[in-house]
Structure 1
Amino acid sequence: MSALLLSSLATACGEDDANETANITDNNGTTGGATSNATTGDTTPTSNTTTGGTTGGTTGETTTGPPPPPPPMRLTVTLDPALPIYRPGLKPLPVATIYDAAGELMESEQVAWSIEPPEAAQALENGRWEMLAEGDLVITGCTTTPGADGDPVCGSRDILVDAGAPRITLSSPQPGAELLAEESQSIVVSGTVTDTNGELTLFVNGDEVELSDAGEFTTEVTPVFGINHIELTATDGRQPIAAETAVDVLWSRDYLPVPEPTEANNTTRALLDGGIELRLGQQFLDDGEPLRIGAEDTEVTARDLAGIVELLLMELDITSQIPNPLADSDEISLAVTSIDVIDPVVSVDVVDGGLELFIRLSNLQVNTEGFFNFEGQELNLNGGIRASAAAYSRVRVEKANPEQELTVEIETLELAIEDAEGYFVSSEANAVFALAESFLRDLLEDTLVDALESSFLDAIPETLIDVIGELEQILANQQFDLDIDLLPPVALKLDGRLNRLETHLRSDLTAILDAEVSTDQPEVISDSRGIALSVAAGTAPPFFSSSRIQLGARMALINGLLHTLWRAGLFEIDAYTILPENLSFLLQSATLSARMPPLVTAARPDQSDRSLLVTLGQVEFTADFGLQQDVYGMLIRTSADVVFEDNALVLSINAEPNLVIWPISTTGDTVMFEPEALKILIEAEVWPLLADALAENLSIPLPAFDLGSLGDLAPSLSNFAPTLVEARPITIREGYLIFDGGLEGSVPVGGF
């Protein structure tokens, strides 16, 4: 990975090295081998001829040297270093390769060089040419020895000299800007593109944008809620590599302001009125299915509030409410040994200001023992009576504002015996009991009514307080301790308080909760409009039309948690200590800084197959090399879901992020790290820390509905603990996380 990260550094250094590593030139001004880079050549190879002769007709003999070399036929030109584009100031070495007619290399030919236009470059003493001006140049080399046609043999090479890719200067929007919809219906992108050579073209998010003669531009981008990433690309028709930059801005219809720190409380906080709504629907209160216990059932399960009351009535110790013995005299002795409630049926309806309960007790068994003297005859009262009864109760459930205490109390309780018959050992006792106005009947019925009323007055409010009162504590004083490498430990607190209860006739009982998010750390970042809101404050959650229990948590609650962590400096990271050793020695420091808070939004189908998108925009990585400082921008996106786990809504983040990295600025000629190389580093070393900071222990607890206190009324229910069950996966609807589920609690049948 280090080789890739240092590729740009090697390229930058290689240009100067190339200027110092020219081919070695011999004393005759030609290069070794079959090439020549001499500026001039006037040395011509010659043949040595030896002549000898005789006089007076005597024959003479002449001796000649080797034949002259063949003339040059072809010349090719290359440059060292060989680059597609040369910057002004570079000093390439022209190299000529010369061949004769037979294709053989000619190693000793000298070459004369020229350049066009002449003012675009200058020849140096070491055979190199320094590039002086941008544009299209042609360098030509010609042999000093004529070719076969008597003219020098020449070759040339086109040279493109360009100072670099265009420079994009962005005036608007500012990096990390928080834009408000009513102020910015669109995102205005403006600035200038400059270049000293070539024909400029600019693209903004892939669309070509018109440039003025001075290179100025202005265009508009249609925003969406959340972090908008804007990419700008400029070309000059010369450089194969385009100039690229980008900017991230946040756009929202509204922002929820956050409290400013005070001397009394300088920690970071956020307040969300109505951040959570919990709807107890009619199906949760009463699904219309009474509890029934089959002969082979080993446990019984309650799935609604009515079922819980039915379970309680079956196990209620009503006998303890009876002042035994009922009578103890010479005329009558009567005691109730037990009262059994078999298959009670409870109906619960929501009414204005509370609940109505209709209780049907079709099978009451009152077991007795004793005697009764009737007209001189002692009647055996061992046995008991079987009765049916009906009860109506109206329960006031009220909390109109945050200051008012939650009230759950019985306003009305009416109970009547509908029918009763004796099953005493004595048939005469049964006959006496059957008399409409008998003392025995009145005594037993009045006792039963008093016992049931006393039991109901205790049991019904206790059950409802356990269920509804849980809403008061659902989010109270929740704390998440974040201990992440390189970051100071942070305690994130979520405190939810019941604001009010609303009743909707025959529909639901809804609890509206306010939430306060805070940390134990002072504010580090203060320049923020607040928490971005995808829907206006006060918008009701889009609950499903039919459900047992639903919880709607505003996306602003999760974003409030992340916004609070951001303001506390959790995303200001000293990245130097996590760099590999083969990179850290190059740097004096390296930091990561998030210019805007992380944001969770609903994912579009073209973005992810998961329900949420977590985005960190305008994260700036600053690398200080001592002689040079580079700043890069990053956009980090990852998909996520909110899952139901351990009775809470838990943020589950994808392990693989999508990173976009671009250079923002450098104090050198070019940035030292290629963006692709930096991406590898961030994915391997930095992203795991950021993912932990985003999701470590972040969750929203749901009601536990701990009904353990019912054990005081019915000991067999001491361990009865109904739990929430998920009816469908967590759904994202119109700026809300919607949990849709039910309640289930089981107890062994053995106690019945």
Structure 2
Amino acid sequence: MRRSLQTILFALLPLALCGPALIACGSDTEPTGAPNEDVDAGEEPDADPSWEQPALVRVELNPSRLAYATGTRITPRATVFDGLNRPISGADITWEVSPAEAVEQQDDEARWFVRQEGRVTFKACVAVDAGEPVCGSTDALVDNTPPDILIESPAPGAQLLAADHPSVEVRGAVTDPNSIVSVHVNGEAVELDGEGRFSATYEPHFGINSVYVTAYDGVQNREGYAQSDFIWAPAYHPTGEDGTLTLEDGLILNLGQNFFDDGQDPEFLSESQVFTDDLADILYLVLRHLDLNSQLPDPVVDSSALVLRVLDVNVNEPRVELDLTDEGLQLFAQIPNLVATTAGGLELNDQSLSLEGDLSASLAIYAEVRIAKNSAEDDFEIELERFDLALERATPNFVSPEVNAVFELANSALRTSLEEMILESVNLSFIDTLPQLLLDLFTSLEDAMAAQSFDLDLGLGEPIALNFAGQISQFTPVHREGLEGVIRAELSTSAEPIFEQSPGVALMSEPSPELPYFLSSRLQLGLNLALINGIFHEVWNAGLLTMDISEMIPAPFNNLVQAARVEGKLPPLIAPPTAGEPYDLMVHLGQLEIELTYPDRVDRFGVRLSVGANMGLQAGEIGLELADEPSIHMWLIDASIGEPQFDANALETLMYEQLWPEIEGAVGEGLSFAVPAPDLSSLGEFSPELSNLQLTLEQSQPLSTRQGFLMVDANFRGELVLP
């Protein structure tokens, strides 16, 4: 009975020993017997020479690893056991390695270099006195890299139209010498077919999108990774053959009813400091400080019967109202108390009467101004089409009672002369002042955008000149709402375009005839998102992001790298935040590709860079301010030999410290547009006090993105310091 139990245990023992992955048993010929570990202490097994024969071969690899890279030297070691599980020393072992072409034996020793990826079997056999040899084996997994992933769609650098691609099909293939355990597309698991291919659907958003695929083979401690960046947009605005971009609605401008008149009087901080918030306030100051004295001859009348001099004219507390019409502006004004100080003499019935004293009067004014600009090439049309000035009241206050009595006579020469004097002087001033004031206001805005040029220089090769020109192509008054202006913008560079196949500048939405203005604003400036993206497109198309960056490689790495080059597969693009970023906008650069050339290899990396930006109005400019630190993501696209010389983390540091400061400095110059306050110094011709009137442009509320426009709500704030 004991012999029967021992026989069963000996038969099961090899099966137990074959379980661990690194313990291999004879698979060609099973041992005829096995050691009995359950023999009681001190009990001798039956005398049988067969127990001393080889029964088990265990194979181990040195070094012991889960996976080996090609080129690794492996030294297998075989341990032979007899039927009692005792090691047998000096056994004559024969080695067989398969596939034979996967290895190279070193000096006829039991050492092999693995030369190709895949599974390599190391098999050790030992002869027995009779029967088949006893063998054992183990496998080595040779795996240089993680699974290789090819994204076939969408292609890196693609610029897709929403109508053709409402959703994006992601297609590709995964290859690896080992079995693939898992594949994910943007974090979602997908299945592979029998040929290692995968597919998935991606829902895109406006701007630069990223599709990334990971794959794991269960052997490598790193996942395979591939990424493809592409642009998705509802529409694209094409550029000319020379790369010039023209946007008919590059900027929009709305001067609202409150810009002209908000119904409030000027703010008098003191007798010498006044603040204005609308054009009606400025006209109030024009009337209040109107220099009528310089408009009058001295004397006003010089005849044998009447000599009239006007020593001074003061206008007290005028009232002004401005309303927008479908043709332009209507002005209602009143001067309730105009006082003219007089001198001279009147000959009446052989009597000489003094004209010393003053005359107070009340005037009412009504004017209609037509405003139009029909195209970018036309000049502003600002005409005073109607001007009515009525003398409502005139009250004499002369020293001589007789003169007061004469003035009261309806047809007296004195009354007629004074009334004509008042009407002609005020009429002349307004004809010269009001249209010119509006013309200065509008043309100064256009002149500020007429021609601007920026030199974009990364310090690598010739600088690129970016040229910007803006012209008001339409200026339309809307009754009680505002003057709506559309500004045509033109962008060009000094370089030849290098991406001729690009469909143009990505648009956030289809062009719409409706302009996205706020209600009841003083001044609105709208910057078409396509204009900023047009700037990026121009500098990208001119080659600013395709360049040799060998000089940027810091020591000591520059001794290893023969050449370094960056290529911008896609233009930079600005878009609203999509992931809760604390910025007005996000600027994206993708897909940049960096190629590093060494004496024996070429490594290529992809780069996706994003940086936040805030938009605002400051110091007479509407522009974008980039955040200090960008977000940079790099990944390996291809390494010609095994692992890359430098990993992505090391190159991210290079991007942060070397390349990004240069890109930020060069591109940042093109992200602002001058919108200075109008120059109203010409008002000094009519009133010297008004030559000190200073206007500044101030932002009223935070930026808003509306229908593809970056809208800034602002107002002109005027300050007048009186002597």
Q: 2:477 aligns with which of 503, 509, 521?
A: 503
Matched, 1:371 2:345: yes
**Cα displacement (A) at 1:660:** 1.6
Cα contact 1:594–1:619 (8 A) shared by 2: yes
Amino acid at match of 1:81: P
Q: 1:247 aligns with which of 181, 206, 228?
A: 228
Matched, 1:532 2:540: no
Q: 1:710 aligns with which of 664, 679, 683?
A: 683
Amino acid at match of 1:656: E
**Cα displacement (A) at 1:258:** 0.3
SS of 2:262 mapped into structure 1 = coil
Q: 1:656 aligns with which of 629, 637, 649?
A: 629
Corresponding residue number in structure 2 for 1:231: 212
CA offsets 1:405-456 (integer angstroms, 9 cap, x no match): 2111100000001112112112332233234444322221122111111111
CA offsets 1:500-547 (integer angstroms, 9 cap, x no match): 111110110111110001122222332211011102234544222121
**Cα displacement (A) at 1:463:** 0.8
Cα contact 1:723–1:745 (8 A) shared by 2: yes
d(CA) in 2 for partners of 1:109, 1:363 = 128
Corresponding residue number in structure 1 for 2:363: 389
Corresponding residue number in structure 1 for 2:265: 290
Matched, 1:358 2:332: yes
Corresponding residue number in structure 2 for 1:92: 74
**Closer, same or farther in 2 for the Cα pair 1:683/1:82, shift >3 Å?**
farther
Corresponding residue number in structure 1 for 2:13: none
**Cα displacement (A) at 1:361:** 0.7
Matched, 1:632 2:601: no
Q: 2:118 aligns with which of 118, 134, 143?
A: 134
**Cα displacement (A) at 1:373:** 3.3
**Closer, same or farther in 2 for the Cα pair 1:510/1:112, shift >3 Å?**
farther
**Closer, same or farther in 2 for the Cα pair 1:472/1:678, shift >3 Å?**
closer
Amino acid at match of 1:728: Q
Could you tell me which runs of 5 or more consecutive residues in structure 2 were left unpaired when the two chains were aligned.
Answer: 1-56, 81-86, 129-134
Q: 1:431 aligns with which of 395, 405, 423?
A: 405
Corresponding residue number in structure 1 for 2:314: 340
CA offsets 1:303-344 (integer angstroms, 9 cap, x no match): 211111111222222223223323223422211112111222
- Bigger mean CA deviation after superposition, 201-210 or 692-701: 692-701
Cα contact 2:293–2:311 (8 A) shared by 1: yes
Corresponding residue number in structure 2 for 1:564: 538
**Closer, same or farther in 2 for the Cα pair 1:114/1:684, shift >3 Å?**
farther
Corresponding residue number in structure 2 for 1:331: 305
RMSD (Å) for aligned C-alpha atoms: 3.0
Corresponding residue number in structure 2 for 1:668: 641
d(CA) in 1 for partners of 2:112, 2:539 = 58
Corresponding residue number in structure 2 for 1:11: none
Amino acid at match of 1:127: A
Cα contact 1:190–1:216 (8 A) shared by 2: yes
**Cα displacement (A) at 1:465:** 0.9
d(CA) in 2 for partners of 1:431, 1:95 = 137
d(CA) in 2 for partners of 1:570, 1:205 = 31
d(CA) in 1 for partners of 2:318, 2:241 = 57
SS of 1:428 mapped into structure 2 = helix
d(CA) in 2 for partners of 1:90, 1:367 = 110
TM-score scaled by length of structure 1: 0.81
Corresponding residue number in structure 2 for 1:69: none
**Closer, same or farther in 2 for the Cα pair 1:579/1:536, shift >3 Å?**
same
SS of 1:193 mapped into structure 2 = strand
SS of 1:423 mapped into structure 2 = strand
Within 5 Å, give how 1:684-723 maps onto structure 2.
684-696=657-669, 698-723=671-696
SS of 2:419 mapped into structure 1 = helix
Q: 1:472 aligns with which of 424, 430, 446?
A: 446
Could you tell me which runs of 5 or more consecutive residues in structure 1 were left unpaired when the two chains were aligned.
Answer: 1-74, 99-105, 145-153, 262-267
**Closer, same or farther in 2 for the Cα pair 1:303/1:164, shift >3 Å?**
closer
Cα contact 2:98–2:121 (8 A) shared by 1: no
- Bigger mean CA deviation after superposition, 117-126 or 491-500: 117-126
**Cα displacement (A) at 1:360:** 1.1
Within 5 Å, give how 1:458-469 maps onto structure 2.
458-469=432-443
Q: 2:617 aligns with which of 644, 649, 657?
A: 644
d(CA) in 1 for partners of 2:331, 2:610 = 51
**Cα displacement (A) at 1:112:** 7.0
Corresponding residue number in structure 1 for 2:241: 260
Cα contact 1:302–1:311 (8 A) shared by 2: no
Amino acid at match of 1:184: H
TM-score scaled by length of structure 2: 0.84
**Closer, same or farther in 2 for the Cα pair 1:656/1:96, shift >3 Å?**
farther
Corresponding residue number in structure 1 for 2:10: none
Amino acid at match of 2:109: N
SS of 1:506 mapped into structure 2 = coil
Corresponding residue number in structure 1 for 2:36: none
CA offsets 1:179-225 (integer angstroms, 9 cap, x no match): 01111111121122223321453211111122211112222211100
Between the two proteins, the alignment pairs up a number of residues equal to 654
d(CA) in 1 for partners of 2:245, 2:536 = 10
**Closer, same or farther in 2 for the Cα pair 1:737/1:377, shift >3 Å?**
same
Cα contact 1:395–1:411 (8 A) shared by 2: yes
- Bigger mean CA deviation after superposition, 185-194 or 731-740: 731-740
Corresponding residue number in structure 2 for 1:414: 388
**Closer, same or farther in 2 for the Cα pair 1:582/1:112, shift >3 Å?**
farther
Corresponding residue number in structure 2 for 1:273: 248
Corresponding residue number in structure 1 for 2:84: none
d(CA) in 2 for partners of 1:170, 1:626 = 29
Cα contact 1:291–1:343 (8 A) shared by 2: no
**Cα displacement (A) at 1:650:** 2.3
d(CA) in 2 for partners of 1:661, 1:118 = 39
- Bigger mean CA deviation after superposition, 361-370 or 83-92: 83-92
Amino acid at match of 1:234: A
- Bigger mean CA deviation after superposition, 82-91 or 482-491: 82-91
Cα contact 1:576–1:584 (8 A) shared by 2: yes
Amino acid at match of 2:588: T
d(CA) in 1 for partners of 2:377, 2:266 = 38
Amino acid at match of 2:704: T
Identical aligned residues as a percent = 36
d(CA) in 1 for partners of 2:545, 2:161 = 24
Corresponding residue number in structure 2 for 1:165: 146
**Closer, same or farther in 2 for the Cα pair 1:628/1:611, shift >3 Å?**
same
d(CA) in 2 for partners of 1:117, 1:695 = 62
**Cα displacement (A) at 1:88:** 6.1
**Cα displacement (A) at 1:135:** 4.0
Cα contact 1:111–1:141 (8 A) shared by 2: no
Matched, 1:492 2:466: yes
Amino acid at match of 2:586: L
Matched, 1:405 2:379: yes
**Cα displacement (A) at 1:669:** 2.8
d(CA) in 1 for partners of 2:577, 2:389 = 55
Cα contact 1:167–1:195 (8 A) shared by 2: yes
Cα contact 2:445–2:675 (8 A) shared by 1: no
SS of 1:352 mapped into structure 2 = coil
Cα contact 2:693–2:721 (8 A) shared by 1: no
CA offsets 1:109-152 (integer angstroms, 9 cap, x no match): 7677688997688876333245588348687899x9xxxxxxxx
Cα contact 1:134–1:163 (8 A) shared by 2: no
Amino acid at match of 1:643: G
Cα contact 2:145–2:643 (8 A) shared by 1: no
Within 5 Å, give how 1:142-161 maps onto structure 2.
159-161=140-142
d(CA) in 2 for partners of 1:677, 1:644 = 38
Corresponding residue number in structure 1 for 2:199: 218
Cα contact 1:462–1:710 (8 A) shared by 2: no
